[in-house]
């Protein structure tokens, strides 16, 4: 991995604590000499952030239908990959993304019920075979994640879905992690922030840094 940088994604349900870990991981890698770019999905570029606002803001006059939601996720992703992620990797940087394609499989696939074949076809159009080097799936019981989100305030459009939706998403993330052990690590995100950080740093050291 020395020439090209590497791409790490953080995934998980609502309140799983991924966003909290992004700056911690970035510091950990910078202290080891890496240039790090942090981004998020949906969003991460000026145009992709505009798409994010359409996706996450509830319009009382018009519901965003599931197909539009899916297409907008991939529009934002194509923009992010082409204009930020690939150029950064080509410059030897590490890219950390708060969510990426696995969120679409979990939320639009398991959550909304869109067929995985449909998602795969759109992925091919949007980003081809491009994929993370390592995905960290932060796993917490839905009730724990929801309690953390509640303590943070108002829910966005997607966060307003019911508990059954989030249970399907959690199961999807866990199953995916367990069936892709080479590229995906399942992190128990229930303990305190420092304990979760230590677990993450251990995984990154073993999977990315030992190959340097």
- Can you give the binding site for ligand T5A, defined by CB under 6 A? 12, 14-20, 40-42, 56, 73, 99, 103-104, 107-108, 148, 152, 156, 158-159, 189, 192-193, 196
What residue is closest to ligand T5A based on CB? Answer: 17
Q: Are 44 and 97 in contact (CB under 8 A)?
A: yes
Report the DSSP pairing between strands 134-139 and 94-98.
Answer: unpaired
H-helix or E-strand containing 135?
strand 134-139
Nearer to ligand T5A, 5 or 17 (CB): 17
Nearer to ligand T5A, 4 or 152 (CB): 152
Minimum gap (Å) between residue 3 Cβ and ligand T5A: 28
Q: Are 34 and 212 in contact (CB under 8 A)?
A: no
The alpha carbon dihedral of 205, 39, 111, 164 has a sign of positive
Q: Are 39 and 95 in contact (CB under 8 A)?
A: yes
* 201: helix, strand or coil: helix
Minimum gap (Å) between residue 26 Cβ and ligand T5A: 14
Minimum gap (Å) between residue 197 Cβ and ligand T5A: 9
Minimum gap (Å) between residue 123 Cβ and ligand T5A: 10
Minimum gap (Å) between residue 209 Cβ and ligand T5A: 23
- Give the HSE-up count for residue 168: Cα atoms under 13 Å, Cβ half-sphere: 15
């Amino acid at each position: 991995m020395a020439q090209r940088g590497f791409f790490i994604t953080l995934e998980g349900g609502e309140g799983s604590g991924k966003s909290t870990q992004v700056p911690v991981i970035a510091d950990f890698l910078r202290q080891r000499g890496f240039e790090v770019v942090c981004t998020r999905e949906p969003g991460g570029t000026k145009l992709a952030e505009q798409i994010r606002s359409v996706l996450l803001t509830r319009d009382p006059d018009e519901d965003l239908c599931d197909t539009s939601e899916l297409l907008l996720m991939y529009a934002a992703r194509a923009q992010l990959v082409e204009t930020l992620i690939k150029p950064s990797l080509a410059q030897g940087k590490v890219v950390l993304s708060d969510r990426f394609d696995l969120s679409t499989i979990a939320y639009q696939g398991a959550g909304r019920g869109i067929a995985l074949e449909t998602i795969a076809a759109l992925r091919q159009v949007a980003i081809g075979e491009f994929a993370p080097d390592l995905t960290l799936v932060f796993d917490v019981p839905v009730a724990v994640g929801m309690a953390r989100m509640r303590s943070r305030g108002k829910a966005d459009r997607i966060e307003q879905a019911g508990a059954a939706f989030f249970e399907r998403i959690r199961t999807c993330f866990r199953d995916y992690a367990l069936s892709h052990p080479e590229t995906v690590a399942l992190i128990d995100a229930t303990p305190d922030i420092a304990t979760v950080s230590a677990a993450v740093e251990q995984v990154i050291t073993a999977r990315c840094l030992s190959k340097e």
